[in-house]
Amino acid sequence: MKTFFITLFAAIFSFQSFAQKIPAYYSAGTKQGTINEVRGELKAKLKENNFKVLGGYYPEGKTNNYVLVYTNSTIQMIGYSLRNFAIFSSALRIGLISNDKGVEITYLNPEYFFRGYYMSSYNTIKSKLEPIENSINKMFKAYGGELKPFGGSVSTSDLTKYHYMIGMPYFNETILLKEFDSFETAVATIEKNLNSKKGDTKLVYKLVYNKSKKAVFGVGLLNKTKGEPAFLPIIGRKNIAALPYEIAVINNKAYMLHGRFRFAFYWPDLTMGTFTKIMSTPGDVKDMMEVLTK
C-alpha cells in the first residue's frame, strides 16, 4: 500500500511539473523617449513584420498610457471564418506605459489569447498560429530586450475551457445586446453611435467583413464613473493591453463577451477580494455597450 501511494504521489507530481502555464502578458523592456516616439517605432516594426496597425487610444483618456491595436491577414481570416465567436479574436494589443525611465512596452501574449479564445479549436489550427506567436515574440525581443512575463498565468488545459471559478461564464457564453433587421443596419448603428462618442465611448478600431456578415469594433470606455477611469485603478493599469473592449456583429445580432469572463481572463492573477470591488463593472459595461446599439 505504501508503494502504491508513493507511486501515485510521484505520478501527480510529474503531471503537475509538466503542466505548462501560459503567461497572460510580457514586458519587453523600457525605451527612452516619449509614448509618441515609441509608438512610431513600433508601428514601423509591425509593418516590417507584416502586421497591420488598426488603431490606438489613451485608456482612461490619460496620456501617460497608450494601447496600440494590430492584426494580420491570417488572424483576420481565422476570426471571420471560424465558427461561433472567433470574430472577437481578430486583433492583438500592445500597452505602452510611461514611467520615470521612459516607456515600458507590454503586450498581450498571443498564445494565451489564442488558446483562450479558440478553445479546443486551437490545436486544429495550431500550425497557422504558432508562426504568428513566434514572429511577435521575436519582434518584441529584438526591439525591447528580454521578455518578462507578468499579469498571471493559466495552464494550457485550463485555457482551453477558461473560466475563473464554478458559476462564472465561459468564452462562448456571450451577451446578446440586440437583434437588428440586418447586418448592415447593425454595423451602421454601432458605427454612428461610436463616431458620436455616445455614452463617453471611443471608436478605437473596426473590422467589417461584409461577405461573411461579421464585424468587430474596439470600444474605449471613457465614462468617469462606470468605465476605465473607475475600474482600472482598482484592478491594475499595467494590464492595459487587455483593452479596448469589443462589440461583435454576427449576421444581424450584436454581442459582447460577458464581463465576468473577460475581466477574469485578462486579469487572471487578481484575488476574489479585488474582483468584489468591481462587482458592478460587468453590468456597467453591458449598459454602455447597449447604448451603442440604440
Q: Which residues contact 50 (CB under 8 A, 6 or more apart)?
A: 72, 135
pLDDT at 7 over 50: no
- The single-letter DSSP state of residue 39 is H
DSSP 3-state assignment of 269?
coil
Q: Within a domain: residue 146?
A: yes
What are 216-271's pLDDT values in tens digits?
999 999 999 999 999 999 999 999 999 999 999 999 999 999 999 999 999 999 99
Q: How far apart are CA 52 and CA 45, in angstroms?
A: 10
Q: Within a domain: residue 120?
A: yes
247: containing domain: 21-291
Query: Cell numbers at residue 110, please?
Result: 498571443
Q: Within a domain: residue 105?
A: yes
Task: Name which residue leads in pLDDT, 104 or 9.
Answer: 104
Query: Which of the four pLDDT bands, split at 50, 70 and 90, describes residue 84?
Result: confident
Q: Which residues contact 127 (CB under 8 A, 6 or more apart)?
A: none
Q: Within a domain: residue 196?
A: yes
Overall number of domains in the chain: 1
DSSP 3-state assignment of 282?
helix
Q: Domain of 109: which CATH number?
A: 3.30.310.70
- Selection from 24, 27, 28 nearest residue 114 by Cα: 24
Q: Within a domain: residue 122?
A: yes
- Selection from 223, 226, 253, 204 nearest residue 94 by Cα: 204
What are 86-130's pLDDT values in tens digits?
999 999 999 999 999 999 999 999 999 999 999 999 999 999 999
b/e burial code for range 166-199 (CB count within 10 A of at least 16 → b): eeebebeebbebbebeebeebbebbbebbeeeeb
Q: Within a domain: residue 10?
A: no
Query: Which of the four pLDDT bands, split at 50, 70 and 90, describes residue 12?
Result: very low
**Predicted structure pTM score:** 0.91
Q: Within a domain: residue 1?
A: no
